[in-house]
């Protein structure tokens, strides 16, 4: 139980390491570089998504496991939609443009370390 949660934290740390940036725009640029190489490469760089799928299978679809997969799916989909809107269509409202260049708080990339492990623990208990 503890080993599974620690493994999840390791995977979350990997994702933070390659996505972390001082602003949302810079983070999206980092993510876009991987996405442009290949969508499959981009998806492989989200191991917590595959962990969530495994957790659903392992726990026979407990609510916290389903919630984890749902949140991870929304996260990946949001990144893709934002990248398409900003880089491909170049359609960003003034408010979105302001948000993209605002500095991110130092703790923000690490929010997943607080949000997701309780779901993992709850699912495997």
Task: Convert the pLDDT of each residue in 76-110 to its tens digit.
Answer: 999 999 999 999 999 989 999 999 999 999 999 99
Mean pLDDT of all residues belonging to the chain? 96
CA–CA separation, 124 and 108 (whole Å): 26
Q: Which long-range contacts (CB under 8 A, 24 or more apart) does 44-47 make?
A: 45/15, 45/18, 46/15, 46/72, 46/76, 47/11, 47/14, 47/15
Helix (H) or strand (E) holding 88: none
In the predicted model, is pLDDT for residue 1 greater than 90?
Answer: no
CA–CA separation, 96 and 14 (whole Å): 27
């Amino acid at each position: 139980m503890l080993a599974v949660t620690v493994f999840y934290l390791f995977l979350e740390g990997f994702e933070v390491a390659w996505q972390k940036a001082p602003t949302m725009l810079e983070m999206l640029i980092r993510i876009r570089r991987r996405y442009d190489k290949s969508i499959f490469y981009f998806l492989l760089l989200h191991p917590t998504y595959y962990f969530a799928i495994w957790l659903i299978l392992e726990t026979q679809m407990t609510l916290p496991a389903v919630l984890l997969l749902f949140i991870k799916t929304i996260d990946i989909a949001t990144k893709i939609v934002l990248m398409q809107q900003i880089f491909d269509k170049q359609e960003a409202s003034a408010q979105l443009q302001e948000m993209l260049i605002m500095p991110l708080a130092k703790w923000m990339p690490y929010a997943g370390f607080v949000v997701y492990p309780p779901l993992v623990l709850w699912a495997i208990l």
